[in-house]
Amino acid sequence: MSAENSRKASGSGDDGARGSGGISRRRLIGSAGAAGATGLVLGAAGGATGYAATRPDEPSALTTVGSTRVMFHGKHQAGITTPLQACGHLVAFDLVPGAGRKEAIALMRRWSAAAERLMAGEPATSGAADGPDHDTGIALDAGPSSLTVTFGFGRTFFERTGLTDHRPPGLDPLPPFSSDHIDARRSDGDLWVQIGADDALVAFHALRAVQRQAAPAARVRWQMNGFNRSPGATAQPMTARNLMGQVDGTNNPKPSGNDFGRRVFVPVGTDAKYDWLAGGSYVVVRRIRMLLDDWEKLPVAQQEQVIGRRKKDGAPLSGGTETTAMDLDRAGPDGKLLIPDNAHARISSPEKNSGAAMLRRPFSYHDGISADGTPDAGLLFICWQADPLRGFVPVQRKLDRGDALSPFIRHEASGLFAVPGGAADGEYVGQRLLES
């Protein structure tokens, strides 16, 4: 990174941007931008959430991508309202037998220190270049590249650390859904880490650091890799498309909205046992395979009937542009509803779910070709909410009962994690829980 670019940075926006390590502010990243309204919820939140955290109005030249920095410290953890990144890794860990709170504290200290350095574009450790804890050097030539590292705790983490009394009710297990084909080996976990960046090497560098530093306290339970469109790949910022070719994400709660914080972040409650989660959020993670061979056989007009939106621009079938509100009562000349009764966008819309909404922040994935010749590809569905029993669960229940999209997707893995608020200067993530 050039000397000029090394002086440019942006803050996570959750508690205001502030420079550190000699890097000054360039632009805010942490607040979701103004993007539109849709989307393919794929099992949980479509119209109720679509993804709308976008980049600034002006396109970014590819040569500037590496200089953009997200701050580690703040009211909320980075990676929640941060705009979509081009590369992502999701990884869950289980504490090893015999490990408890003491080992978890040491691990979260290591991970937090490494995340702060990595997000600043520095080596994961400050040790000697040839020492046992040396940095791998994978990202030596890159800047921060919008890297974020986000940490969460699963239900079983509280049992393993003797903190069951501090386990919040929002971590109660998700109910089963009839359309689920869940692989338990790729679900849940004691700890969860989300990594995102705009450069694949920077993202992998962080993944490797997290994995290396997990020892000897924890081992990998499962890991998934995802991607999105790279910044600068379009002439102007646009809502992303998923692997079905649909514009995927316009109806997300906007950070500028009066109820954004209430919907996404956990407030200070009346029970001091859960104060550690104030400013945090719950994340539902679902690996949703898209049956692309079947989907691609449908004519575009039929695909649009399944979704309830035009494929070319994401506009609702009731008319207008991508950001036009759906008119769920509008009928065509034949008297039939323009947005069918079982359309994905209708069933998942806030109007049909008592206003339920969540902040969707997904990655697409492709894990090769299966033995039967079909692509193992789809969506790593990630949604954030203050209460999953009021966000994800009611919407998914409704989708489970009659979504026209259901024959073309399969839910193969699932997880629910409590994500603490951001760490203040001098703190590590989860300190208020682990030292309570």
Per annotation, catalytic residue among 248, 387, 400, 403: 248
Q: Is residue 294 within 8 Å of residue 407, measured between CB atoms?
A: yes
- Round to whole Å and give the CA distance between 142 and 179: 43
Measured between alpha carbons, how far is 135 from 6 in angstroms, rounded to an integer?
A: 20
Omega of the bond prior to 216 within 30 degrees of 0, cis?
A: yes
Report the Cα–Cα distance between both ends of the chain, in Å, rounded: 41
Q: How many residues in the chain?
A: 436
CA distance 240 to 46: 14
Amino acid at 22: G
Catalytic: 248?
Answer: yes
Comparing C-alpha atoms, which of 59, 53, 56, 49 is closest to residue 32?
53
Strand partners, 95: 218
Encode 42-75: b = buried (16+ Cβ within 10 Å), e = exposed: bbbbbbbbbbbbbbeeeebeeeebbbbbbbbbbb
CB 54 within 8 A of CB 34: yes
* Cα distances (angstroms) measured from residue 89 to each of 12, 92, 135, 339: 19, 10, 19, 35
Report CA-CA distances (Å) from 319 to 116, 205, 326, 327, 350. 46, 45, 8, 8, 18
Which active-site residues does the annotation give? 248
